[in-house]
Structure 1
Amino acid sequence: MPEQDDEAREFDIKWADGAELKEPSARARMLAARWKENPPEPQPFRAEPEFRARRRSSLRTPRRSAWGSAAIVFGCLAAVILLLGYVNSRGSY
């Protein structure tokens, strides 16, 4: 029985993919209607250099290397393991 369902589903997919005319999505129709009255202004592919430089200088967080971040994570993990071991050894008396 599942084989028949798979074959029917595959047939439906082939039938849908083979359609000569595909209807656009609702968003595509909405944008086409909006752009018919007010076409969008052309946008540059890349931002202008002064915009990118200004954006970078506005970032106030220092950049850390991936190794520095990994060392902090493993250091915290080691500290937690040592703390749990210490608490466990104190409670066994």
Structure 2
Amino acid sequence: MAQQDDEEREFDLRWADQAEHKEPSARARMLAARWKENPPDPAPFRADPGPVAPRRSPWLSTALVMGCVAAVILLLGYIQTRSGTR
């Protein structure tokens, strides 16, 4: 029974979370060692985005969609009149 208590204590996560000192992850240790020799360049928290292409007018998109809808309506009307006369 003492062995079972030892296993429970070993894998008790609450006990581990209450530890005063926590070892950093392997990645954190690797980056710390790398940056000690060659520190990274300073960068702002949110870097400025690159140049942005000018946006087209929303009316241009609306006119294009309405033109396509009108063309489809005219095409369907033309097909209907051609098939109705025969």
TM-score (norm 2): 0.45
Q: Which has the higher helix share?
A: 1
Higher RCO structure (Cα 8 Å, ≥6 apart): 2
**Greater Cα radius of gyration, structure 1 or 2:** 2
TM-score (norm 1): 0.42
